[in-house]
Amino acid sequence: MYKKEEKNFATLISKELMKYEDKSFAAWNTKILNICKGGYGEGDVLLGVRVPQIRNVIRKYWMDIDLKEVSGLLCNKIHEIRFAALMILIAKYKIDDKFKADIVKIYLKNSQYVNNWDLVDLSAPKIVGHYWYSNCLTDFWKYAKSNNIWRERIAIVSTLYFIKQARFKETIILAEMFMNYKHDLIYKAVGWMLREIGKRNINKLILFLDEYSYFMPRTMLRYSIEKLSLKQKKYYLKKKSSD
């Protein structure tokens, strides 16, 4: 545990995470996160710290660290430190209503550092998704139309919270908007959200597929039909292959 007199929790968290550095795991994760020249994760720095290890570290400090220090962690060049910052924001967001708007502001102000799919998928539904569901959607639509892959993924993945509340409208609109997008990361996210709709309302998914499966990028289609019967999968894939 930290010493009582020690106040720089951000430094403590960073130092503890660095103790778990694993170069072989970092090398493996580099491929998963496409951290290479020309890749969507180019320029990121990995320590090779596993998620359970990150969780164990932040469990000791997240209640005491203030939001200003968390903002500093979120700007860190090291991927796992940014991941830890997002986990802290999620934990703080859950327990204190009076700070929810402040946490959302921090998230949006620093969203340039939420810049890989694991960071987006961890945080978007639990922070901005939850907040946008009950508040103004101006920033939601701004992100959806930003022409920035990470902001656009934040927008579509944030709707996972909407979907869990049986609200599908925004997800469907974005699925239509992103039909002609030029990156698999968006296709995968849209397909994932459509699949989540289907788990809750199969008729909504079927209606969408009947109208758009012919036009959907194959990656988006495959992700969206994963939970359908084999017969249904073959039907929609055959429709697509006929284009």
* 76 touches 52 (CB < 8 A): no
Return the pLDDT at 7. 66
Domain spans of the chain? 1-98, 160-243
Element (H, E) at 100: helix 100-109
Residue 5's pLDDT band (cuts 50, 70, 90): very low
pLDDT for residue 240:
73
pLDDT mean across residues, the chain: 95
Model pLDDT for residues 212-231, shown as the tens digit of each residue: 999 999 999 999 999 999 99
Amino acid identity at 93: Y
Instruction: Please tell me the pTM assigned to this model.
Output: 0.94
Written as six digits, the tokens of 51 are 């998620």
48: phi > 0 → left, psi -120 to 50 → alpha, else beta; which? left
In the numeric block, which tokens belong to residue 23? 């170069």
**Cα–Cα nearest to 106, from 65, 46, 53:** 65
Phi, psi for 138 (deg, rounded to 5): -55, -50
